[in-house]
Structure 1
Amino acid sequence: MPSRWLLSILTLILASAIVVACNGDNENTETSGKETDGGKPDDFVTLKMIMPGDESARMREFVDNELNDRLKNDLNMKLELTYIPWGSYQQKLELSLSTGEDYDLFWHGTPFVSGYKSKGYIQPLDELLQKYGQNLIKNIPAENFKLDQIDGKQWAIPSQAFTSAGKFTSVMVRQDLLESVGMTEIRTIADLEAFYRKMHAIDPSYYGYLETDRGHEVLWRELSGENLTAFDERNLFAVNEDTGELVNYVESDLYKKVAHLREDWVKKGIIDKNLVGNPQSKIDQENAGKLLFRVGAVSRAMENLQTAQKADSGAKLREYFLAPDKPRYIVAPSNEAYMIPAAAKHAERAMMFMNWILKSKDNYNFIIFGVEGKYYRIENGKIKLLTNDQLMYEWMWRNKNYFTAPTNVPDDVVRDMLHNDDNAKISRLFGFHFNEEPVKKEMAQVLTVYKEKFDLINSGLVGYNSGFSSAMTALKKAGYDKVFAELKKQFNEFNAGRP
């Protein structure tokens, strides 16, 4: 980590978190008699929670029996868990939030917090966190909480507390297949193309594939001579980490380079036309062990290994950074956010439940892996998983204080994760939230046009030369320049307030 500058930032952030916790305001909490943090509430409630994923019979059995038995004993509550498949999660989640369904807790990525706050979908958590979240405060660094603070209030719990530098800018590869064709590592775009070419010659059922949404940043490391960080996953704007200037990415020469590369990859078959625009097909192919590479996420080689080995017992995964000598930046030390809806009936119990997860390593392992001896066991300091699914994704709650690597994850992959943030730099975007309210009409129009016109260019299905000009005209007509001007205004004000 950078030394003096980072230390001063973290000191200020810690002070900010303490002030917010002491002066927070929460307007939608239960009023019946409850004990403070650590005590068992008086009344029994059913906590309704939304999570992404596909529920297995084992997960349902665990919730209905061991988990709810313990939650009744510890928190006098029952967990009613609704799973929504990944491919339709955001759409169905937003429908539930916009119609005021009485869910008490849900997960989504940190970039969604600001938008959900602006739409009135979620409630501030400061008072709840101070009263019922002492284990969260103890085990999650203060700088993580800063990510979800807007207008002086805390709007989400940043559940993950692990290494994060360069998240979504690495590429994860099937290391076993890479080695099978005589290669050892990935350092360049040419390496990725060679890997695909050699594997495709052996077995054409394997796909290349690098996501056409978050995959831009992976390629930027090699295609740009500058150090750029995307403003968010929509890939409209970026920040130049060297100069501090915001970059109009879609009108840049870099965007043109990425689009031409994607077009070339479609011609070569690296990007398969049948996978583009079909999230479920992508997931199915990865679950079947047919994807050679995809966007990494610092810990994805560990997270996806069990699924890969279910399809191919000899599968190995590894993450690499293109242009590995370029710096890595910490934008968000936690990309995971648990939010409490404005319409929640049991907001206090939702906070108590999250706090309970980090109360002890036993609770942490229990909620993620299940019953020790039945669903997992400890072997030589690692976790031996005895099932192929988890109730709650481990990466959503990964915490340095409680983390134990699975037995099937090689030591070099664990070492990559634990040392990922060594010598990392703090991004200029750290802690910045774009308030879209002044341009919400234009932003909605821009995103609609971008999805309609630019997704095809991003995927390589429509050539840059043939499609960009008309797409850009439509984007500007939708209000793109106004959105960019407002973003720059807010970002400059944010920078003016930096120490």
Structure 2
Amino acid sequence: MNKKARLATLTLAAVMLTGVAAGCSSSKNEGNKGTSSEPASSASASPASATKDPYEIAIAVPVFGAVPKDLPAVQEEISKIAQAKMNTTVKIIPVSIGAWGQQMNLMTSGREKLDLFFEFGQGYSADVAAGKIIPLDDLLNQYGEGIKNQIAPEYLNSAKINGKIYGAPVYKDYTTGVPGVLMRKDLVDKYQIDVASIKTIDDLDQVYETIKKNEPTIVPLGAGLTLPSDKYVWYDKLGDRYGVLPGYDNDLKVVNLFETKEYEDYLNKMHSWAKAGYFNKDAATSQVGGFELLKADKAFSYFIGLKPGNLESETRAAGKELVFVPLMSDIYATTSDTLGGLWTISSNSSNPERVMMFMNLMYTDKDIANLFIFGIEGKDYVKVTDTSIDYPEGVDSKTVGYSFQSWMYANPSIAYLMKSDHQEMWKLTAEANQNAIKSKALGFAFNSEPVKNEITALKNVTDQYVKGLETGTFDPADKLPEFRAKLKAAGIDKVIAEKQKQLDAWAAANQK
């Protein structure tokens, strides 16, 4: 990617830099010095002997909102399938997302009964280092053939730390998505906006001016909690942004993003938009997502890295028909994109062989997938076609007795689709994963332990400045030099040097 293209890409997508990082901080990293537990038993038993005795698998999952009332019935039906196939039952342990970190720390630090749990990518490396989860390589080879068939080697191997796989990534789109903007179709039609003429972020100036002039109660660009993260721009953030890899395919030279001319140009663009009134005034502090602002008739558009099925799901969330305008065609795959969530076996498990067998079912058994994601047929959903479903009559997403965040399930591609979903989304997902431009550092993850104090100091600085700068609230002429100086004082150069050292070691070990 040449300099001009990088600049254009950064400028169009850098508005996506704030928000919830979907990132992951771990994968194959030869520099990781953490220790880990070995499996409680080896993966050498035959399938017949491994299922001889009954076993109950305790599975911890995050719950967003109230515990579904139909969870006991779902658990019972899953147990029936697992009992018939592998002499196993399951106990699903729901944990409120608000208490997830604390509760999982208690469960894994003690010797509480726990076999299998969902792992957020950002906690993966730390749990490996703490010995809370076990390496899976031997277990995958003996009992995880379905997992290995589902996830391409370059993505499965991205979960390696010190040469071992400790978690199976959730099957999903592993790419950045196509950077672009989602707009309300009613307003696009009302003002006859020619979306085909929008090729770059600069082309939005006239569009936003039109909305600002004619819709005084609606901001042109909704900014807040769920602005897409920085993974959509022209660099691989290498787990965080304290040292990045420009262009994905460069010479593996780590640079300071915040010192680049491209970053400064982007901030100036955002500040010009803020002065023009194109952002909501609380953009730097808002905890409301872009789709929520559209739904409340407070915004016209928001930025996104669009993946297969996103347009349909975002339309449902916003409650309005949306138009997507791509601002870039290339999609990339990085370690952070791959490891948004994983399934891991707890070091507390007394039968990891059986747990791996069940994990394999989660990636291959359609009946278990549908139960886990959608609940009981006829009660929580009804079939519309052989492959699509809907809520039963009189039931909706708020009143249904069971729900589960499908993005957390091991392999949602084998389950039904809601009738409002893009019915080709999993075919398109497979194509995106195959065709994505792979970052040269795909499979590397930074172990921040050697510079943990500096990382803490840097986070304090970025928390103080980044969102204000990247939503245009702060004037870059005033605040950017101050921001850069404080990053220097907090130790960003030391962090970049350590990241470069680890990346060099990883590249040598993997012949990059």
TM range (shorter): 0.7 to 0.9
- Percent identity of equivalent pairs: 21
Q: Deviations over 1:366-385 (max 9, x none)?
A: 32222334434444554122
Q: What is the aligned partner in structure 2 of residue 176 from structure 1?
A: 185
Give the 5 Å matches for 1:190-229. 190-192=202-204, 196-199=208-211, 201-202=214-215, 204-205=217-218, 208-210=221-223, 214-218=228-232, 220=233, 227-229=234-236
What residue identity is the alignment partner of 2:307? V
What residue identity is the alignment partner of 2:356? M
Provide the rounded CA distance (Å) in 2 between the counterparts of 1:177 and 1:420. 30
Q: What is the aligned partner in structure 1 of residue 146 from structure 2?
A: 135
Q: What is the aligned partner in structure 2 of residue 6 from structure 1?
A: none
Shift of 1:298: 1.5
Provide the rounded CA distance (Å) in 2 between the counterparts of 1:430 and 1:481. 23
Q: Does 1:50 align with 2:55?
A: no
What residue identity is the alignment partner of 2:176? G
For the 8 Å contact 2:343–2:410, the answer to whether it is kept is: no
Q: What is the aligned partner in structure 1 of residue 271 from structure 2?
A: 263
Q: What is the aligned partner in structure 2 of residue 463 from structure 1?
A: 475
Structure 1 residues 274 and 208 mapped into 2: Cα distance closer, same or farther (>3 Å)?
same
Provide the rounded CA distance (Å) in 2 between the counterparts of 1:394 and 1:274. 31
Q: Does 1:353 align with 2:364?
A: no
What residue identity is the alignment partner of 1:462? F
Q: What is the aligned partner in structure 2 of residue 239 from structure 1?
A: 246
Question: Which region of structure 1 is more displaced relative to structure 2, 266-275 or 142-151?
Answer: 266-275
Q: Does 1:372 align with 2:385?
A: no
Q: Which runs of 5+ in 1 are unaligned?
A: 1-16, 18-24, 221-226
Question: Which region of structure 1 is more displaced relative to structure 2, 141-150 or 418-427?
Answer: 418-427
Q: Which has the higher contact order (CA 8 A, sep 6+)?
A: 2
Shift of 1:411: 6.3
Provide the rounded CA distance (Å) in 2 between the counterparts of 1:348 and 1:286. 48
Q: Deviations over 1:417-470 (max 9, x none)?
A: 565457532211211122223223322332233223434323433332222223
Q: Does 1:79 align with 2:101?
A: no
Q: What is the aligned partner in structure 2 of residue 338 from structure 1?
A: 343
Provide the rounded CA distance (Å) in 2 between the counterparts of 1:136 and 1:395. 16
Q: What is the aligned partner in structure 1 of residue 13 from structure 2?
A: none
Provide the rounded CA distance (Å) in 2 between the counterparts of 1:90 and 1:189. 39
Q: What is the aligned partner in structure 1 of residue 9 from structure 2?
A: none
Shift of 1:131: 4.2
Q: Deviations over 1:195-250 (max 9, x none)?
A: 555556347256723567744454x4xxxxxx533323546523333432322101
Tell me how large the CA RMSD over aligned residues is.
4.1
Q: Deviations over 1:33-88 (max 9, x none)?
A: 99738975634436140325224645546545544555566553332332434xx4
Structure 1 residues 423 and 351 mapped into 2: Cα distance closer, same or farther (>3 Å)?
closer
Provide the rounded CA distance (Å) in 1 between the counterparts of 2:327 and 2:110. 44
Provide the rounded CA distance (Å) in 1 between the counterparts of 2:325 and 2:376. 34
Provide the rounded CA distance (Å) in 1 between the counterparts of 2:426 and 2:482. 47
For the 8 Å contact 1:376–1:383, the answer to whether it is kept is: no
Q: Does 1:439 align with 2:443?
A: no
Q: What is the aligned partner in structure 2 of residue 165 from structure 1?
A: 175
SS in 1 for 2:359: helix
Structure 1 residues 50 and 424 mapped into 2: Cα distance closer, same or farther (>3 Å)?
closer
Q: What is the aligned partner in structure 2 of residue 116 from structure 1?
A: 127
In the alignment, which of 282, 289, 294 is matched to residue 274 of structure 1? 282
For the 8 Å contact 1:378–1:384, the answer to whether it is kept is: yes
Q: Deviations over 1:173-192 (max 9, x none)?
A: 14634643434455322455
Q: What is the aligned partner in structure 1 of residue 308 from structure 2?
A: 299
Structure 1 residues 382 and 394 mapped into 2: Cα distance closer, same or farther (>3 Å)?
same
For the 8 Å contact 1:47–1:346, the answer to whether it is kept is: no
SS in 2 for 1:106: strand
Q: What is the aligned partner in structure 2 of residue 27 from structure 1?
A: 38
Provide the rounded CA distance (Å) in 2 between the counterparts of 1:289 and 1:232. 35
Structure 1 residues 180 and 489 mapped into 2: Cα distance closer, same or farther (>3 Å)?
same
Provide the rounded CA distance (Å) in 2 between the counterparts of 1:249 and 1:64. 47
Provide the rounded CA distance (Å) in 2 between the counterparts of 1:34 and 1:484. 45
Q: Does 1:252 align with 2:252?
A: no
Q: Which runs of 5+ in 2 are unaligned?
A: 1-27, 29-35
Provide the rounded CA distance (Å) in 2 between the counterparts of 1:26 and 1:188. 50
Structure 1 residues 282 and 423 mapped into 2: Cα distance closer, same or farther (>3 Å)?
closer
What residue identity is the alignment partner of 2:448? E
In the alignment, which of 149, 153, 175 is matched to residue 160 of structure 2? 149
Provide the rounded CA distance (Å) in 2 between the counterparts of 1:35 and 1:203. 69
In the alignment, which of 39, 42, 47 is matched to residue 36 of structure 1? 47
Provide the rounded CA distance (Å) in 2 between the counterparts of 1:306 and 1:89. 30
For the 8 Å contact 1:302–1:317, the answer to whether it is kept is: yes
Question: Which region of structure 1 is more displaced relative to structure 2, 446-455 or 390-399?
Answer: 390-399
Provide the rounded CA distance (Å) in 1 between the counterparts of 2:309 and 2:473. 27
Provide the rounded CA distance (Å) in 1 between the counterparts of 2:494 and 2:456. 12
Q: What is the aligned partner in structure 1 of residue 492 from structure 2?
A: 480
Shift of 1:392: 3.4
Provide the rounded CA distance (Å) in 2 between the counterparts of 1:173 and 1:135. 37
Provide the rounded CA distance (Å) in 1 between the counterparts of 2:488 and 2:379. 58
What residue identity is the alignment partner of 1:427? S
Question: Which region of structure 1 is more displaced relative to structure 2, 472-481 or 172-181?
Answer: 172-181
For the 8 Å contact 2:313–2:421, the answer to whether it is kept is: no
TM-score (norm 2): 0.74
For the 8 Å contact 2:238–2:446, the answer to whether it is kept is: no
Provide the rounded CA distance (Å) in 1 between the counterparts of 2:103 and 2:323. 32
TM-score (norm 1): 0.75
Shift of 1:147: 0.7
For the 8 Å contact 2:237–2:244, the answer to whether it is kept is: yes
SS in 2 for 1:358: helix
Structure 1 residues 422 and 288 mapped into 2: Cα distance closer, same or farther (>3 Å)?
farther
For the 8 Å contact 2:242–2:256, the answer to whether it is kept is: no
Provide the rounded CA distance (Å) in 1 between the counterparts of 2:161 and 2:322. 37
In the alignment, which of 326, 332, 347 is matched to residue 329 of structure 1? 332
Q: Deviations over 1:99-141 (max 9, x none)?
A: 5584544334445423432344433223433444333223222
Shift of 1:305: 4.2
Q: What is the aligned partner in structure 2 of residue 10 from structure 1?
A: none
